[in-house]
Amino acid sequence: MILVADSGSSKTDWMGYFNGETIKFNTQGINPYFLNEQEISRIISKNEIIAPLAKEVKEIYFFGAGCSSPDKHEVVSNGLSTVFTNAFISVEHDLLGSVYATCGDSEGLNCILGTGSNICYFDGKKIHDGHHGLGYVLGDEGSGTFFGKKVLLSYLYKKMPSDLESEFKKTFPVEKEQIITNIYQKPFPNIYLASFSRFLANNHEHPFIYDILKKGFQEFVDTNIKDYPNHKTVPCHFVGSIAYYYQDVLKSVLAENGITSGKILQKPIEDLFNFILQKEGVVKQAI
């Protein structure tokens, strides 16, 4: 059995190939910056779909947020190996998984716009290291956390139009003290901030919200995409819910900057799964 995983901070999407069949399931996000080996093992062990099949798994290809260094690879690998005792385990950064899903074997820029944000250049064979992906405190321009923070600040600072303010109160009946506690005293403040970005979905045509989206995507372009000299000559692909659900605004911003948009995927897992199976010589395709 082969398992392929794409993990962000919020959720991990899994696909497997077992006895000629394709299976899909989800778990909590597995990010080694926020979870230790025991916590990772516990997340897998309590999943009703995969736990009974754990000993049958022979190969795992895990691509995750936070898996950008050997020590973080080891945290995830050790956590998985306590459950998947008979498996070869490969752990890579989620950027590589995103690249495989979008670029495949072709040249291009690959961007992640989900809970967090990142970017890389792929020459068709390898990823070229950049200096982005600084996380939600220092970076994450154009991400769910970024937009959630923007919306939240406009509400707290009383900068939000009255019609939106009323709608926000109905959607998020929270007080300032509760917000501060969740951000500064509880775990996963990035996910908490990103949860407010869903307010954009039902209001993205409102001029105030549209302006937040457009400026946020422009900031991502200015800070990240324009750092690459060839950004106007290669396709620019995107993965993540923020890019997917607001692709009309994103495409408009890209066009204004002379950038060619490529694939825009909500989730990379199916394209990534197919790429890995083809790479490993398995002809089965995702359903």
**pLDDT tens per residue, range 15-54:** 999 888 899 999 999 999 889 999 999 999 998 888 888 9
**What's residue 66's pLDDT?**
85
**What's residue 136's pLDDT?**
66
- Residue 143 in any domain: the answer is yes
CATH number of domain containing 20? 3.30.420.40
- Residue 164 in any domain: the answer is yes
- Residue 285 in any domain: the answer is no
Co-location of 172 and 37 in the same domain = no
| Predicted confidence (pLDDT) per residue in 70-116, tens digit | 999 999 999 999 999 999 999 998 889 999 999 998 999 999 898 88
Co-location of 245 and 197 in the same domain = yes
Geometric angle at alpha carbon 107, from 106 and 109, rounded to 5°: 125
Look at residues 217, 204, 198, 197 and name the one whose alpha carbon lies nearest to residue 141.
217
- Residue 287 in any domain: the answer is no
Co-location of 207 and 123 in the same domain = yes
- Residue 286 in any domain: the answer is no
**pTM check: above 0.85:** no
Parent domain of 81:
2-99+268-279
Co-location of 164 and 89 in the same domain = no
Co-location of 42 and 162 in the same domain = no
Co-location of 80 and 157 in the same domain = no
What's the whole-number mean pLDDT along residues 194-213? 91
- Residue 117 in any domain: the answer is yes
Co-location of 57 and 114 in the same domain = no
**Residue 283 pLDDT greater than 70, yes or no:** no
pLDDT above 70 covers a percentage of the chain that reads 96
Co-location of 126 and 214 in the same domain = yes
- Residue 70 in any domain: the answer is yes
**What's residue 175's pLDDT?**
87
**Residue 237 pLDDT greater than 60, yes or no:** yes
pLDDT confidence tier of residue 287, bands split at 50, 70 and 90: very low
Co-location of 120 and 250 in the same domain = yes
Co-location of 145 and 250 in the same domain = yes
Co-location of 144 and 23 in the same domain = no
Number of domains the chain is built from? 2
What's the whole-number mean pLDDT along residues 7-21? 87
CA distance 75 to 153: 35
| Predicted confidence (pLDDT) per residue in 136-149, tens digit | 677 688 999 999 99
**What's residue 286's pLDDT?**
47
Q: What is the mean pLDDT of the chain?
A: 90
- Residue 215 in any domain: the answer is yes
**What's residue 284's pLDDT?**
54
For the chain, the DSSP string reads: -EEEEEE-SSEEEEEEEETTEEEEEEEE---TTT--HHHHHHHHHT-TTTGGGGGG--EEEEEETT--SHHHHHHHHHHHHTT-TT-EEEEEEHHHHHHHHHTTTS-EEEEEESSSEEEEEE-SS-EEP-S---HHHH--TTSHHHHHHHHHHHHHTT-S-HHHHHHHHHH----HHHHHHHHHTSS-HHHHHHHGGGGGGGGTTSHHHHHHHHHHHHHHHHHTGGGSTTTTTS-EEEESHHHHHTHHHHHHHHHHTT--EEEEES--HHHHHHHHHHHTT------
Geometric angle at alpha carbon 262, from 286 and 91, rounded to 5°: 50
CA distance 139 to 145: 10
Co-location of 63 and 129 in the same domain = no
